[in-house]
Structure 1
Amino acid sequence: MKRHSVYILATAVTMLFNSCATNPVTGKKDLVLMSEEQEIALGQQSDPAVLAQFGVYENQQLQNFIQEKGKAMAAISHRPNLNYEFKVVDSPVVNAFALPGGYVYFTRGILAHFNNEAQFAGVLGHEIGHVAARHSVQQQTKSTLAQVGLIAGSVLSPEFAQFGDAASQGLGLLFLKFGRDDERESDRLGVEYSSKIGYDAEEMADFFMTLQRQQGESGEAVPNFLSTHPNPADRYEAVNKLAFDWKQKLNLTVAKVNRNSYLKMIDGLVYGEDPRQGFVENNVFYHPELKFKFPIPNSWAYQNTPQAFQMAPKDGKAIMNLTLAPGETLEAAAQQMVQQYSLQVVESKSTTVNGLPALAIVADQQQQQQQQQQQQAIRTLTYLIKYNGNIYSLMGISTVNNFSNYFNEFTNTMQNFSPLTEAAKLNKQPVRLRVETVQQGGSVRQVFQRYQVPQDRMEELAILNGLELDDRVEQGTMIKLLSSYEKI
C-alpha cells in the first residue's frame, strides 16, 4: 500500500513537472496544461465563433490599420514567432480582447473612444501582452471551459445554452478573468511594446481614465482589461511612470501621438448600435435590411448578433431564438432542425403567419439516461416561416414543467412575425462620428452648444473626446461630434 502511494505521488510530481513551461516574458517556469501547438489550435478554432458572434466591421482602411500596427508591434514582442491576426469587429461595446495563439480583436466602439494613435497603440500592446505572457493559457489551467460562463449564460439557464449560437466553447475564452498581476503585467508590456515602435505611452494612461469615465456614464459592464484592475488613479500613476522610464531607456525624445491623422481615419465610423442590423423600439424588433418585425415579451432581455436574435426572461427559465433555417422548403428545414437538436416531434401543423406560409412544431429533446438524471427534459415550440426567399426559425425553449407558463409568450411573438413596411423603420440609418475643426475657441461646453449638442448628451461627447466640459478648446482643434448634430 505504501509503495503504491509513493508511485502515485511520483507520477503526480512527474506530470506536474511535465506541465511546466517557460514563460516567454518572465523566463520563469509556469504551470500550464497546454502546449504552444494546442494554444494556437484553440485560437484558430475559436476565431470563427468570435467573428460569427460580432461580425467584421466593413471598413478596409481600419482593418489595414490594425493589421499594420499589430504586425509591427508583434514583431518586437516576446513571442514574434506567432502568426498574429488583428481584426476590428462590428460591436458598439467599448472593448478589446485577445484569444490564445495571437488573435486580437478591437471593437469599433473602442476605436471611437481613442483620440490618437498612441492611445490605440497602448491598448494594442496591452492585448498583445496577454498573448505574449500566455495569460489565457494560465487561466485555462485554473478553470476548464466547462466552468466558464458563456455569453448566452448571462441571461439563460445552462440547459438552454446548446440552442444558442453564442454557446460556443471558444467564446468562453472571452470571459476568462485575468488576475491583477496579469493585468499589471499587460499594462507594463503595453507601455514597453508601444514605446518600442515609437509611441508616447503616457497617452495610454489618459485613455484608461477616459474608459473609467465612460463606464460610469453608460453603466455598461467594465471591459475585461479594466475589470480586475486596481484603483484607476494608481494605475494612471503606474503607467505614466513606466512610460517615462521607457522614454529614457530608448532615448525617445519625440514620441508619436498622431492625433489628427487618427481622427480623420475614424471620421464616419458607426457610433452605437447599427439599426441596419436590426433594432428594438417599444418592445418590437425591426430588421430594415431583411424587412421583418416581431414583438418581444415585456421585460425580457435580448441580444442581437449576426447569427441570431435571442430573447429570455431574466429568471433564465426560457429562451427564444430567431435564426435563418437551412433548407429549400419548410419541410426540409424542419427535418434538419429535428436532426440537429435530437428532437422528438410531439405535434406539427402547417399554418400561415400574417399571410406567410409556416410550420408550427412542438418537440421534445431526446436525452440519454445520464443527462435525464442531471437536468430536466426540454420542450420546444418552433415556427418556421418562409418569407422573401428565406426560412426563419423562431424557436421557444423551456423545460417540460415550465413550458405551459411560457407558451402564450412564445406564440404571441411567433404569430406576430410580419413584413416590415413602415418607411421610417426601413430607412433608419446609424449615427456616425463626424470630425469637425473648431472655428472659434472656447470651452468644450461652448463648442458643443454651437453644434446644438443636447444638454443631456454633452458629458457623453466630452468623454468621447477625452475632455472635460470646462476644458478650453483652441481654434483649429479637431473634435468628435455625431452626424445628428448640425452647426448653427
Structure 2
Amino acid sequence: MLMSKGQEVAMGQQSDPEIINYFGLYEDKSLQRFIEEKGQQMAAVSHRKDLKYQFKIVDSPVVNAFAVPGGYVYFTRGIMAHFNNEAEFAGVLGHEIGHVTARHSAKQYSKAMLAQVGLVAGMIVSPEFAQYADVAQQGLSLLFLKFGRDDERQSDKLGVEYSTKIGYDAQEMADFFQTLDRISKQSGAEEAPDFLSTHPNPQDRYRDVQKLATDWKKKTDATSLKVNRNSYLKMIDGIIYGDDPKQGFVENNVFYHPVLKFQFPIPPTWAFQNTPQQVQMAPKEGDAMMAMTLAQGQSLEAAAQSLVQNNQLTVIESKQENVNGLPAIAIIAQPQPQQQQGQQQQQDVRALIYLIQYGENIYQMMGITSTTNFNNYFNTFNTVITNFRKLNDPEKINRKPDRIRIKSVKRNGTLAQALADLKVHQDKIQELAILNGMQPEDKVESGMLVKVLEK
C-alpha cells in the first residue's frame, strides 16, 4: 500500500469534481437526499467511521455504482432505475462502502501507479493520443480499475453485514445480482455491469451472498429486517431510463444534440461515448479516435491559437473553410517532438482538426491516429467533420426521454399478462421483466406495483 489515509482523502477531494463534471449530477433532490441519508447511516456502522463520506447519484444510464478513495460513493441513475426495493439498494451501497473501508481502490491505484498503467475513460485507444481526449486522468482512471475476485468477495461480505446492521434484508442483495447477470446477458459482454467483470460465477455469488445473509439474520432479529418495495418504487416514479435525449443521442449512425441543435454522423461499427464534456468515438481496433468538444477562445483564430499552444502542436497545414454554411478553420497537425534523456523523441501521431463557429459556440472536432495510418483514416475523419450541420428536425429537437412510471396490476395473473394489460408492447416484455426483477411468467396479484416505461 503506497497511500496514507491523508492521501486517500486528498485523492477523493480532487477526484469528486472531475467525476461530477464528467457525468453530471442527476437532478432529483429527493433521490439525492435518500442516498445521502442511507449512506451516512451505513457509514456510521462501517469499519472506517472516521472518513467524511459523500454519496451522490450521477446522470448516467449505465447500470453501475462505484467508489473512490476517501469515502466518495456514486450510483448512476441507471442502477437506481433497476432496483426494486430499498434492501437491494442497501446491499449494493454496503458493497461500495466495503470497497472504501477495505481500501480496495487505494490498493488498486497503488498497483496501477507502480505499473504505470494508462487508463482512458472507457475507450481502448493507444496511449500516444490518449492525452488529446482531454480526460481528467486521476479521478476518472479510478473508475476503470478492476478489483480482483478476493476484493469483490470481501465487499459482498461487508455489504451483507452493513445492510443488515441498518435493518435491511440482505437476501435481496443476492437477488439483485441475478438481475445484473440478466442485464449482462441481454446487452452483451461489452456492456456488462462492472459488478460482474471480475467476479466469480454469478450463481456462486448468489449462493455465497444468500448464505452470508442467512448467517447475519441469525445474529439479528430477522422479523424486523426491511425490504420496503412499494416506498422505493414510488420514490423512483418518473426517473429517466436509458439515454436522455437532451444530452444528445444516436439514431441510425447519426448523433443529434437537441439542445445545442447540431448533428453529425458516427462511423458505422465505431464505439461511441457521450459525456457532458465531449463526444468520443473509436474503431474497435483502437488505432484511431475522434473527439468533439467546445473549443476555448472568442474567435476561430483565437481558438486555433489556443489549441496549438495548449497541445504543443506543429501545424502542417491550416486553411479557412466553410462547413455547411458555418465558418471554420481546418488544421492538420502533429505533436512537437518531446525532449527525453537529452534526445528529441518524435511522437508518431497526426490529427485532422476543425474549429467550427456555430452560434455563440466554437466546436472542436478532431480525428487522431498514427502518422502511418493517417491517410487510411483521413476520409473517415473528413466525412464525419464536414457533415457537421444545424439540426432543424422538430421530431429530433423535441424528443422526450423514457421515464419509469409505477402502475398497479389490474388483475391476478402473470407479469407478462399484467404488462400487456398496461399496453406494454410484446417486444418490450423481456426488458421490462428484467427492469422489474422478475420473470415474464412470475405470478402477480391485483394492486401490486410494477414498472412500465412512458415518454
Normalising by structure 2, report the TM-score.
0.95
Per-residue CA deviation, residues 28-58 of structure 1 (Å, 9 max, x unaligned), is xxxx111111111112222222223222111
Which of 103, 121, 143 is the aligned partner of 2:90? Answer: 121
Partner of 2:214: 244
Name the stretch that deviates more: 46-55 or 356-365: 46-55
Partner AA of 2:454 in structure 1:
S
Gaps of 5+ in 1: 1-31
Task: For structure 2, list consecutive stretches of 5 or more residues without a partner in the other structure.
Answer: none
1:3-402 aligned within 5 A:
32-144=1-113, 147-148=116-117, 150-152=119-121, 154-166=123-135, 168-219=137-188, 220-370=190-340, 376-402=347-373
Task: Identify the range of structure 1 (67-76 vs 374-383) with the bigger mean alpha-carbon deviation.
Answer: 374-383
Are 1:152 and 1:166, in contact at CA under 8 Å, matched by a contact in 2?
A: yes
Amino acid at match of 2:391: L
Do the aligned partners of 2:323 and 2:356 also contact (CA within 8 Å) in 1?
yes
Selected match of 2:406 from 435, 455, 458: 435
Q: Measure the CA separation in 2 of the matches of 1:150 and 1:447.
A: 45
TM-superposition CA deviations, 1:123-148 (whole Å, max 9, x none):
00000001001111222333327644
Please name the residue that 1:6 is paired with. none
Offset, 1:305: 0.8
Contact 1:195 1:247 in 2 (8 A): yes
For the residues of structure 2 that align with 1:165 and 1:215, how far apart are their CA atoms? 29
SS in 2 for 1:393: strand
Which residues of 2 match residues 388-467 of structure 1 at below 5 A? 388-467=359-438
CA contact (8 A) 1:96 1:223 kept: no
Partner of 1:470: 441
Q: Is the 8 A contact 2:337 2:346 kept in 1?
A: no
Does the 8 Å contact 1:145/1:172 carry over to 2?
A: no
Instruction: Give the partner amino acid of 1:388.
Output: G
Give the 3 Å change call, closer, same or farther, for CA 79–268 of structure 1 in structure 2: same
CA gap of 1:153–1:440, structure 2 versus 1, over 3 A, is: closer
Aligned length: 453
| 1:291 CA displacement | 0.1
Counterpart AA for 1:92: P
Deviation at residue 203 of structure 1 after TM alignment: 0.9
The code of the aligned residue for 1:381 comes to: L
1:381 positional shift: 1.6
* SS of structure 2 residue aligned to 1:170: helix
CA contact (8 A) 1:148 1:175 kept: no
Q: Which moved more, 1:328-337 or 1:400-409?
A: 400-409
Q: Which has the larger radius of gyration?
A: 1
Alpha-carbon displacement from aligned partner over 1:383-415 (angstroms, at most 9, x marks no partner): 111112111001111222222222222222222
Secondary structure of the equivalent of 1:239?
helix
Distance 2:245 2:351 in 1: 30
Question: Contact 1:45/1:170 (CA < 8 Å) preserved in 2?
Answer: yes
- TM-score, with length taken from structure 1: 0.89
Q: Is the 8 A contact 1:383 1:394 kept in 2?
A: yes
Find the aligned partners of 1:233 and 1:299 in 2 and give their Cα distance: 33
Contact 2:335 2:347 in 1 (8 A): no
**SS of equivalent to 1:382:** strand
Does the 8 A contact of 1:159 with 1:375 survive in 2?
no
Answer whether contact 1:349 1:361 (CA < 8 A) is retained.
yes
For 1:151 and 1:124, how far apart are their aligned partners in 2?
Answer: 26
Query: Which runs of structure 1 show a deviation greater than 6 angstroms over 4 or more consecutive aligned residues?
Result: 371-375
CA RMSD in angstroms comes to 1.8
Shift of 1:156: 1.6
1:316 and 1:179 map into 2 onto residues whose CA distance is: 25
